[in-house]
Amino acid sequence: MSFVTVNNARFHVEDSGGDGPVVVFSHGNLMDGDMWAPQVEALSGAFRCVVWDERLHGRTEDDGRVHTYWDSADDLLGLLDRLDVPRAALVGHSQGGFLSLRAALRAPERVTALGLVDTAAVAWPFEALAQMRGVAEAFRAAGPEAVAPELLGLLLGKPALHEQWLAKWQDQPRDRLADAVTVLMGVDDITARLAEITAPALVVHGTADRPIPLALGRLLHQALPGAVGLVEIPDAGHTPSLTHPAEVTPRLAEFLHRHA
């Protein structure tokens, strides 16, 4: 475990080291780098796996301000600078995909490949924004317990994992959780710019994802010029890399061996 200072934040980073191609894993909203444990365990050795906690998440220390995913993309690129990594494959889940796509737009020459898990390029519809606003307000007023039963089912859908992630939320200040959801609400639509992203891309999506429906994953796959595959994980919800690693990890590994 280590901390790397970038853009006035002290990011928690796990780096497997080694001489293999670098793969940076970016987590989803209300998660942290631990969500990638199954993939890091399988891929370390062949790849140098870098996992980080983004602003307002996990063990990272930041100013607590609401930011954009363009800011997060700059954080990721700054992290590569600090680690002396000129180019890397970027694997992102949900908001981790948002920032990875924006990093590929900011600095396409630094991105060897993109693994995009249950993410999208569009802004949220009104109904989703209303739901997120309610979640943020509940976090701020009453804490994780007020939203955990429904939200954990929505994000994970696998009860065996709920206790671990509820405990992580309970370790965070209420306002930090609420602000993280507020950042999520502000994502902008970059659909019109996807044609600029030419890096090889693998899109992975759970067929039962409710926060980001499968149709948006299919649209992302169709719009990316470098897309080499769409992997649909049957019956998986929003976080298949964590809930269905046996289905996700081999396909991701095959893609990275070919393109990272």
pLDDT, tens digit, for every residue of 6-39?
A: 999 999 999 999 999 999 999 999 999 999 999 9
Strands 111-117 and 48-52: unpaired
The confidence band for 95, taking pLDDT boundaries of 50, 70 and 90, is: very high
**What is the C-alpha separation between 189 and 15, in angstroms, rounded?**
32
Residue 253 lies inside a defined structural domain of this protein: yes
Of the chain, the percentage scoring pLDDT greater than 90 comes to 99
Residue-number span of the structural domain to which 198 is assigned = 2-122+188-259
Instruction: State both tokens at 198.
Output: 């030419």
pLDDT at 252 over 80: yes
Q: What is the mean pLDDT of the chain?
A: 97
Residue 128 lies inside a defined structural domain of this protein: no
Q: pLDDT by residue (tens digit) across 66-80?
A: 999 999 999 999 999
Residue 164 lies inside a defined structural domain of this protein: no
The confidence band for 117, taking pLDDT boundaries of 50, 70 and 90, is: very high
pLDDT at 121 over 80: yes
Residue 80 lies inside a defined structural domain of this protein: yes
pLDDT at 1 over 90: no
Instruction: State both tokens at 27.
Output: 């987590």
Q: pLDDT by residue (tens digit) across 170-190?
A: 999 999 999 999 999 999 999
Instruction: State both tokens at 86.
Output: 């000129």
Residue 49 lies inside a defined structural domain of this protein: yes
Mean pLDDT value of segment 103-130? 98
pLDDT at 226 over 70: yes
Total of domains in the chain? 1
| CATH code at position 51 | 3.40.50.1820
Q: Tell me, what's the pLDDT at 242?
A: 97
**pTM here?**
0.98
**What is the C-alpha separation between 206 and 183, in angstroms, rounded?**
23
Residue 178 lies inside a defined structural domain of this protein: no
**What is the C-alpha separation between 185 and 166, in angstroms, rounded?**
21
Residue 180 lies inside a defined structural domain of this protein: no
Strands (E), 177-218: 201-206
Q: Tell me, what's the pLDDT at 246?
A: 98
